[in-house]
Structure 1
């Protein structure tokens, strides 16, 4: 076993050198052979064009080989790098299941960073014993720095959504995760601050967050820290008036008396559309804002009941058309349709649902 492992390691270490030898060695051998042939068989000793054609073909093949090797190597590496990045991004912002505890789901994101599928927006939905809990947020800015904050917040939410009995507890966990992430990032960028809290512009970074808790009867509770309210969607789109909005996370500490408030009721067949402000702030070349409400209404008119996947696809298509394919900010959409029956839940259903949620969490 040790010999096999050692031999595999040697082959793996030698593989790059073998590839380099093939890329540069074969053309060199070919060039030497062509040169020797030219010296041994000069044109003056041959009549006709055949030797000239042979020589031209040799040098053309050499040039084509070199160009192909030089070009395809970086292209393969770039393709492989993109595949790895795409896989990592899908783990971070994983696709939502099509159905979750009686809700039909669909979500999607447009990133302002070219070549990326994940930007500064985040969303997640999980089934818990407290109801289906949903988060959508928008980190200030986009790019690699924003992706780090997205990872910190999503990791915290996926645990806190199951562990915290109240929605306010989930929000406090998100706030602590954000502050911890910003401190660690500031220390890594400015090691001189050592173990002290850094006095750095990172302290001014913030995240807008909307937390929802959807119960079996369609009642929706919410906590909103600076995020746009969602739209209710049946035949037309109407924005939910959820009440007061707290400041975004990271600007000010959360208040002591934090508690979720009633937001709306989602009857069977109706849908809720959560979005980030990049959807409503997108502009075209003339400076006109994208009308998200109109795009949602047009998508809802395509069929009944509303298809969450169709809504996401239609809105993204309309938004890309409006911005000429280049949105200035990240855009995230999450659509939930209530597919639960109007029949009241039976007494034993709650215990079954609780055990299933706990099993899925484990």
Structure 2
């Protein structure tokens, strides 16, 4: 019945259970008959309603499948979920959906539901509605500000997605107009009579990724944990840390295999953005490298062409120079006299004519 929250705020669980008409099994069994999931990235506020699907895979009596939070800026917190053979507001025993807020000032039930205050070392309001629990059915519980009543009011609904039903559990008034939570947790708890730790009934469940109606909120990284001195056979199956994925708590029975991190997963928006940035950088680096290589090749080609042109020009100049320095021989005549003249620019002597 929310033992983890009770543990945090220092309220004896027996007081809480008694306030809700439950009989604690014994201190050790009751305190540690649970296993937990904690999520990252949550935001429950006036700008973010959170919904989560819980799918019991096995159902035994006196089990609680929870979804809850602790306020960041207000003391304590709230929680909800589904229970097998719980106690309704009128004392009737039934499978039910529950919604409670510590320090709640009042509650207004939904149709077919009931709300009651609780007291002891802590006070608050709890609303409950009967439901039919069926193993394998998907139950979506949602929490958000009740805008029709004002920012201090919070409302919870329960939907059986398999059956296509949706009901308001109730609305609870808090003592704050700006309460918000940046955390989210789940647990499964056995709250029945004392039994040996390996005789707790089977109550495994799949907890789907919590979602927000605020597109800027992305919840990920479910982390499974057990109390330091657990009194139940349990294990968790989660995606690898840092990723988005559903989680399973395997709970109860005589034995559970070890926990795993092999659940299917997707990357977060931040990871996808980082991947895109890395890919863009790699593409930009490659383009820059390709351009540098092309520029270098073009420069080398231009240099080679320039060198070839210079060489050709030099050769031409050398040829021209060589041609300009080449001696030729002419024959000059004067009457019966002949004379050969050899020079770069040969000229016949005075009185001679070139033959």
TM-score higher than 0.5 here?
no
TM-score, normalised with respect to structure 2: 0.25
Pick the structure with greater CA Rg.
2
- Which structure has greater helix proportion? 1
